[in-house]
């Protein structure tokens, strides 16, 4: 009885600490988000000028990560929305909508009036109602400098039949967040976890909300039992019975001032409902202990529901945190979780039967010609390292090392199976390069993987390729769109504030001359080097493109003790004045 009382008291203490941290984060974040709301409003005013739906055939979308890729419930199409791109100095956010035709292998950009604001790390879920609906919740917007964040708590629906966006305003929903997970289950949208971050603080969530697709109302669930610790980026999958499976995810905690410790979660939970999927149903958490081979610890993996009542995850990264740096091992493997059997297993490619017969005939002919003295090679049983090189437009050669585990040993294998493994190991196979934060969708039992990113040293390589694999056959990947190295841009981060300011001025407004020893000549040069306004450029686009420059300029004028909020406001005012004078 005493131990139980202590546990309950400890649990209540943890709840109070979490609530206190949430209030602290909320106060600081509110100040930052007020600054970004004006910029978001500028972008929305531009979107509001669109009055009709415009569909345009286009090349593949630009490189991005943390967007959403969804399968149309009635057509052979994939829907790509939002995402982000970072070029080393500036963060770009998107709210554009692309449709990929599976049959034609072609992209169409669809411009629809009044879309959701630009965002990444949101969640999207498709339901077959009224010709198909794409529901979008949450996500984040970042300033171009990447120093401030705005976390959304809005809910939108794209009516696919009429191609119209609608914002659903319902109270009682989750707080603003990104990195959460959302699935459609029994006429409800279930939202779990995520995080909220400000410049200095952050908080991770493990709360659960349900949005009723019939009454358009939110309800916060209060499941019994011990549930998952707060986290983001987990795997979330619905079961046919209306329950929810949670696996993995990532969270971090502050161990001391300015020092955070990340945690890669590998535990698994079942959120079970006792009812038919109504708001008044009782929910309960329970721990799952699956059999089979679980995925290796990782974050940034992408998830989807596959055929045969199996959920899957693809890729991700395992970061090795050193004292002054983080080195990441990226993955391109697939793991399946069989919901009915509560079992994990890795996805392994098979050799097509026709190809297997050809190889067997070839092996027999070689054996007859070589005689009995020929010694056959053994298939590698240990890990195999594959090295690839990608050349960017600026000539940078990035080497990708990928370690693939060898074929599993079996006690009894037929001769044809051994030949299959031997032949399969001898030739390189087409496959996506290792990556994290990719976008997945499954249509007709085929998995599609788009975009994502990997890192080489201090450089981030953002992808725009599209691959597919038939999950029923697992006979190999197909390349539908290759990454264009020319689409890659990387601007090295300067070593000091002065160098960074000079670099940005050079990038935006021409090359900067050497600094003069006199302050007057320095000011004159700065005035001459202001980033120019491009023909027809709107104020919001100009501010987004040049914000880093104006913030640096404002900070240099106001001094190092100036508060960041005031610096940003002054920078925006300076940029607006210059813009208005220019146009």
Highest average pLDDT, of 9-18, 470-479, 557-566, comes from 470-479
Who has greater pLDDT, 63 or 5? 63
Return all residues near 566 (Cβ < 8 A) that are at least 6 apart.
Answer: 558
**Residue 168 burial by CB count (10 A; 0-12/13-18/19+): exposed, middle or buried?**
middle
Per-residue pLDDT at 114 exceeds 80: yes
State the average pLDDT over residues 541-554.
83
Distance between CA atoms of 134 and 164, rounded to whole angstroms? 11
Per-residue pLDDT at 378 exceeds 70: no
Structure tokens at 97: 């909508």
pLDDT in the model for residue 313? 97
Question: Are 124 and 68 within 8 A, CB to CB?
Answer: yes
Q: Which segments within 458-528 are labelled E, that is strand?
A: 459-470, 477-481
Quick one: CA torsion of 566, 571, 576, 578, rounded to 10 degrees? 140
State the average pLDDT over residues 81-90.
93
Indicate the pLDDT class of residue 424, thresholds 50, 70 and 90: very low
Q: For 517-547, how does the pLDDT look when each residue is reduced to its tens digit (9 = 90+)?
A: 333 334 433 344 688 888 888 888 888 888 8
Q: For 63-77, how does the pLDDT look when each residue is reduced to its tens digit (9 = 90+)?
A: 999 999 999 999 999
Q: For 175-211, how does the pLDDT look when each residue is reduced to its tens digit (9 = 90+)?
A: 999 999 999 998 999 999 999 987 778 999 999 999 9
Distance between CA atoms of 423 and 378, rounded to whole angstroms? 10
Query: Which of 202-206, 230-234, 308-312, 554-558 shows the lowest per-residue confidence on average (mean pLDDT)?
Result: 554-558
State the average pLDDT over residues 227-241.
96
Indicate the pLDDT class of residue 259, thresholds 50, 70 and 90: confident
pLDDT in the model for residue 546? 86
- In angstroms, how far is the first alpha carbon of the chain from the final one? 75
Number of Cβ within a 10 Å radius of residue 189? 20
Question: Are 140 and 125 within 8 A, CB to CB?
Answer: no
Structure tokens at 169: 């305003």
pLDDT in the model for residue 364? 63
Indicate the pLDDT class of residue 392, thresholds 50, 70 and 90: low
Which pTM value belongs to this model? 0.73
Residue appearing with tokens 């329970």: 286
Return all residues near 42 (Cβ < 8 A) that are at least 6 apart.
Answer: 538, 539, 540, 543
pLDDT in the model for residue 9? 47
Distance between CA atoms of 42 and 467, rounded to whole angstroms? 36
Per-residue pLDDT at 126 exceeds 90: yes
Q: What is the average pLDDT value for the chain, to the nearest integer?
A: 80
pLDDT in the model for residue 322? 61
Local structure of residue 72 (DSSP, 8 states): -
Nearest 5 degrees, angle CA 503-CA 507-CA 511?
75
Who has greater pLDDT, 311 or 553? 311
User: Percent of the chain, pLDDT > 90?
Assistant: 51
pLDDT in the model for residue 396? 56
State the average pLDDT over residues 255-283.
83
Query: Which of 438-447, 525-534, 553-562 shows the lowest per-residue confidence on average (mean pLDDT)?
Result: 525-534
Sheet architecture: strand order including 68-71: 54-58, 106-111, 91-101, 77-86, 68-71
Number of Cβ within a 10 Å radius of residue 290? 17
Query: Which of 114-118, 140-144, 160-164, 428-432 shows the lowest per-residue confidence on average (mean pLDDT)?
Result: 428-432
Question: Are 462 and 433 within 8 A, CB to CB?
Answer: no
User: Percent of the chain, pLDDT > 70?
Assistant: 72
């Amino acid at each position: 009885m005493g131990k139980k009382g202590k546990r309950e008291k400890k649990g209540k203490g943890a709840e109070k600490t979490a609530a206190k941290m949430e209030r602290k984060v909320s106060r600081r974040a509110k100040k930052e988000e007020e600054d970004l709301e004006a910029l978001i409003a500028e972008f929305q005013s531009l979107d509001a000028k669109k009055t009709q739906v415009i569909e345009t055939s286009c090349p593949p979308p630009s490189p991005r990560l943390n967007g959403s890729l969804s399968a149309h419930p009635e057509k052979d199409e994939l829907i790509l929305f939002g995402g982000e791109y970072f070029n080393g100095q500036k963060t770009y956010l998107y709210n554009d909508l692309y449709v990929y035709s599976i049959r034609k292998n072609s992209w169409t950009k669809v411009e629809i009036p009044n879309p959701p604001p630009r965002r990444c790390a949101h969640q999207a879920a498709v339901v077959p109602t009224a010709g198909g609906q794409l529901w979008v919740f949450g996500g984040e917007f970042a300033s171009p400098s990447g120093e401030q964040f705005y976390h959304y708590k809005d809910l939108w629906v794209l009516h696919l039949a009429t191609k119209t966006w609608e914002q659903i305003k319902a109270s009682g929903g989750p707080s603003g967040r990104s990195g959460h997970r959302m699935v459609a289950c029994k006429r409800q949208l279930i939202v779990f976890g995520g995080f909220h971050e400000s410049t200095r603080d952050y908080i991770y969530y493990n709360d659960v909300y349900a949005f009723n697709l019939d009454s358009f109302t939110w309800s916060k669930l209060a499941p019994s039992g011990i549930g998952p610790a707060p986290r983001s980026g987990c795997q979330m999958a619905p079961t046919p019975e209306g329950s929810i499976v949670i696996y993995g995810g990532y969270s971090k905690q502050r161990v001391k001032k300015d020092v955070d410790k990340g945690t890669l979660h590998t535990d698994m939970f079942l959120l079970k409902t006792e009812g038919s999927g109504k708001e008044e149903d009782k929910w309960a958490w329970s721990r799952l202990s699956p059999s089979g081979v679980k995925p290796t610890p990782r974050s940034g993996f992408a998830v989807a529901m596959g055929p045969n009542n199996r959920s899957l995850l693809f890729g991700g990264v395992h970061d090795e945190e050193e004292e002054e740096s983080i080195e990441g091992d990226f993955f391109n493997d697939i793991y399946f979780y069989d919901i009915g059997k509560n079992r994990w297993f890795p996805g392994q490619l098979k050799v097509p039967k026709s190809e297997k017969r050809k190889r067997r005939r070839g092996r027999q002919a070689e054996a007859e010609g070589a005689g009995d003295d020929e010694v056959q090679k053994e298939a590698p049983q240990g890990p195999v390292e594959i090295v690839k090189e990608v050349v960017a437009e600026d000539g940078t050669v990035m080497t990708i090392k990928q370690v693939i585990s060898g074929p599993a040993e079996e006690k009894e294998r037929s001769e044809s199976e051994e030949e299959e493994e031997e032949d399969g190991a001898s030739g390189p196979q087409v496959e996506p390069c290792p990556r994290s934060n990719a976008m997945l969708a499954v249509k007709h039992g085929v998995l599609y993987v788009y975009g994502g990113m990997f890192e080489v040293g201090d450089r981030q390589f953002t992808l725009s390729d599209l691959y597919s694999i038939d999950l029923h056959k697992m006979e190999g990947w197909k390349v539908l769109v290759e990454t264009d190295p020319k689409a890659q841009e990387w601007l090295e981060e300067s070593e000091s504030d002065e160098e960074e300011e000079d670099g940005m001025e050079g990038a935006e407004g021409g090359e900067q001359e050497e600094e003069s020893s006199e302050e007057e000549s320095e000011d004159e040069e700065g005035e001459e080097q202001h980033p120019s306004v491009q023909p027809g450029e709107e104020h919001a686009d100009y501010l987004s493109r040049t914000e880093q420059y104006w913030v640096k300029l404002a900070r240099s004028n106001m001094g190092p003790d100036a508060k960041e909020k005031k610096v940003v406001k002054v920078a925006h005012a300076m940029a607006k004045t210059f813009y208005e004078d220019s146009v």
